[in-house]
Amino acid sequence: EVQLVESGGGLVQPGGSLRLSCAASGFTFGSYWMHWVRQAPGKGLVWVSRINSDGSSTIYADSVKGRFTISRDNAKNTLYLQMNSLRAEDTAVYYCVREGPGDVEMDVWGQGTTVTVSS
C-alpha cells in the first residue's frame, strides 16, 4: 500500500524550531518529487515547498523562504521539513504530498501532523 506518514509536529514557542519527517512506503520514493502543504485551523490549503526526486532542486513559498528547509533522504525513504524562526501564523496541519507524473498532480497525501506555535 502506498503510504505517507508524517511525524514531528507539536507545540513550540515563537522563534523556535521543529523538524517534520515524512516516512514513505509502498513506492519507489526516490523517483518522485515531493511537497509540503499546510492548512491553518479553519482555513484553506496552502503550498509550502517542493523538492525534486534527487534533492538537488528546492522551491519555497515566499511566506517561509529563508526560514524553512525541505530535504530528503532517499536511502531512508524519508522527506523532511526543517522549520526555524517559527511564528504564530505557521500554526497549521502540515501534509506531506507526493507529486505524480502529471503536472502538479498531488496524488498521494499523508494524514498530516499538527504544528502549534504559541507561548
Partner 1 sequence: QSVLTQPPSVSAAPGQKVTISCSGSSSNIGNNYVSWYQQLPGTAPKLLIYDNYKRPSGIPDRFSGSKSGTSATLGITGLQTGDEADYYCVTWDSSLSAVVFGGGTKLTVL
**Which residues sit at the interface with partner 1, rule CB under 8 A?**
35, 37, 44-47, 50, 59, 61-62, 95, 100, 102-107, 109-112
| Residues facing 91 on adjacent strands | none
Q: Which is nearer to partner 1, 15 or 100 (CB)?
A: 100
Interstrand relation of 33-39 and 45-51 (parallel, antiparallel or unpaired): antiparallel
Closest distance to partner 1 from the beta carbon of 95 (Å): 6
Q: Which is nearer to partner 1, 27 or 47 (CB)?
A: 47
Q: Which is nearer to partner 1, 14 or 100 (CB)?
A: 100
Closest distance to partner 1 from the beta carbon of 16 (Å): 26
Helix (H, G, I), strand (E, B) or coil at 24: strand
What whole-number distance in Å separates Cα of residue 93 and Cα of residue 108? 16
Residue 84 C-alpha cell reads as 526555524
For the chain, the helix, strand and coil percentages under 3-state DSSP, each to the nearest 5: 5, 50, 45
Q: Which is nearer to partner 1, 45 or 82 (CB)?
A: 45
Closest distance to partner 1 from the beta carbon of 78 (Å): 19
